[in-house]
Structure 1
Amino acid sequence: MDTIGVVVNPIAGMGGRVGLKGTDGKLAEARRRGATPRAPDRATEALDALFQRRPDLTVYTAAGEMGADQVRAVGYEPTVVYDPEVNSEGDTTADDTRAAVEAFLERGVDLVLFVGGDGTAVDVAEVLTAYEDESEGENDNESGEESKRTPMLGVPAGVKVYSSVFGVSPTEAGRIAAEFERVEPREVNDIDEAAYREGEVRAELKAVVPVPVAEQLQASKQLASGSVDSLARGFAREVEPGTTYVFGPGSTVGAIESELGIDASPLGVDVWRARSTEETNADGQDGHLLARDASESEILEVLAEPIVIVVSPIGGQGFVFGRGNHQISPAVIDRARDVEIVASDEKLDGLDSLRVDTDDERIDDSLRGWQKVRTGRFTTRLVQIV
Structure 2
Amino acid sequence: MSFRLGLIINPWAGLGGSVALKGSDGADVAAQALALGAEPRAEARTAIALEPLQGLDLEVSTWGGAMGENLARSMGFATRVLGEAQTDPSTAEDTRSAALALREAGVDLILFAGGDGTARNICEAVEDSIPVLGVPAGVKIHSGVYAVTPSAAGELLSMLVRGELVSLGSEEVRDLDEEAYRTGRVRARFFGEMCVPAEHRFLQHVKNASNREEEALVLDEIAAGFVEQMDPDIYYLMGSGSTVAAIMEELGLENSLLGVDVVHDGELVAQDCTAAELLALTEERPVKIVITLIGGQGHIIGRGNQQLSPELLRRIGRDNLYLVATRTKLKALEGRPLIVDSGDPELDRAFSGLIPVNTGYRDAVLYRIGLSDA
Q: Name 1:64's counterpart in structure 2.
A: 65
CA distance in 2, matches of 1:58, 1:367: 35
Matched position secondary structure for 1:325: coil
Q: In 2, distance between residues paired with 1:255 and 1:50? A: 44
Q: Distance in 1 between matches of 2:340 and 2:40?
A: 20
- Is this contact kept in 1: 2:8–2:99, CA < 8 A? yes
Residue 284 of structure 1: aligned partner: none
The answer to whether the 8 Å contact 1:164/1:186 transfers is: yes
SS in 1 for 2:360: coil
Match of 2:321 in 1: 339
Q: Supply the AA of the counterpart residue of 1:21.
A: K
- Cα separation, 2, equivalents of 1:218 and 1:172: 10
Q: Which residue of 2 aligns with 1:50?
A: 53
1:293 aligns with 2:277: no
CA distance in 2, matches of 1:345, 1:116: 31
Describe the SS at the equivalent of 2:81. Answer: strand
Matched residue SS, 1:221: coil
How far apart, CA to CA, are the structure 2 residues paired with 1:314 and 1:73? 35
- Displacement, 1:334? 2.5
From 355, 364, 371, give the equivalent of 2:355.
371
| Matched-pair contact (CA < 8 Å) for 1:291–1:299 | no
Indicate the residue corresponding to 2:163 in structure 1: none
For residues 341 and 41 of structure 2, what CA distance do their matches in structure 1 show? 12
Residue 161 of structure 1: how far off its partner (Å):
0.8
Secondary structure of 1:363's aligned partner: helix
Structure 2 residue 33 is matched with structure 1 residue 30 = yes
For 1:334 and 1:179, the matched residues in 2 are separated by 32
Q: Deviations over 1:306-332 (max 9, x none)?
A: 101000011111011011100011222
Question: What does the per-residue CA deviation read over 1:193-245, in whole Å, with 9 as the maximum and x for residues that have no partner?
Answer: 11111111101111111110112111111122433111111111111122100
Selected match of 1:221 from 207, 212, 235 = 207
Distance (whole Å) between structure 2 residues aligned to residue 371 and residue 170 of structure 1: 23
2:112 partner letter:
F
> TM-score w.r.t. structure 2 length?
0.91
Tell whether 2:57 aligns with 1:73: no
Offset at residue 122 of structure 1 (A): 0.4
Deviates more, 1:187-196 or 1:176-185: 176-185
What is the aligned counterpart of 1:192 among 170, 173, 177?
177
Alignment partners' CA distance in 2, 1:155 and 1:102: 19
Checking the alignment, whether the CA contact within 8 Å between 2:324 and 2:359 is kept in structure 1 is yes
Aligned residues: 351
- Contact 1:290/1:302 (<8 A) preserved: no
Among 289, 294, 304, the alignment partner of 1:314 is 294
Q: Is the 8 A contact 2:184 2:256 kept in 1?
A: yes
Map 1:3-18 → 2, pairs under 5 A: 3-18=4-19
1:120 to 114, 118, 121: 118
Q: 1:250 aligns with which of 234, 241, 244?
A: 241
User: Of 340, 349, 361, which aligns to 2:331?
Assistant: 349
Counterpart-to-counterpart distance in 1, 2:3 and 2:276: 45
Matches for 1:198-213 after TM superposition, within 5 Å: 198-213=183-198
> Aligned partners of 1:367 and 1:175: how far apart in 2?
20
Which whole-Å deviations, capped at 9, do the CAs of 1:105-143 have from their partners, x for residues lacking one?
1112211110111100000111112xx7xxxxxxxxxxx
Counterpart residue identity of residue 38, structure 1: R
CA contact (8 A) 2:151 2:345 kept: no
Structure 1 residue 361: Cα displacement: 2.8
Q: Which amino acid is 2:184 matched to?
A: G
Q: Distance in 1 between matches of 2:288 and 2:352?
A: 17
Matches for 1:85-124 after TM superposition, within 5 Å: 85-86=86-87, 90-124=88-122
How far has the Cα of 1:165 moved from its partner? 0.7
Instruction: Give the superposition deviation at 1:375.
Output: 0.2
Task: Tell me how far apart the structure 1 counterparts of residues 289 and 316 of structure 2 sit (CA, whole Å).
Answer: 7
3-state DSSP of counterpart to 1:249:
coil
Query: Of the candidates 346, 356, 371, which is equivalent to residue 362 of structure 1?
Result: 346
Give the CA deviation at 1:169.
1.3
Identity in percent:
42
Question: Is the Cα contact below 8 Å between 1:307 and 1:335 reproduced in 2?
Answer: no
| Amino acid in the other structure paired with 1:192 | D
Aligned residue for 1:78, secondary structure, equals strand
1:262 to 253, 258, 262: 253
Give the whole-Å Cα distance in 1 for the aligned partners of 2:358 and 2:8: 40
Partners of 1:107 and 1:365 lie apart in 2 by: 38
CA distance in 2, matches of 1:241, 1:44: 43
- What's the CA shift for 1:182? 1.8
Distance in 2 separating the partners of 1:15 and 1:223: 24
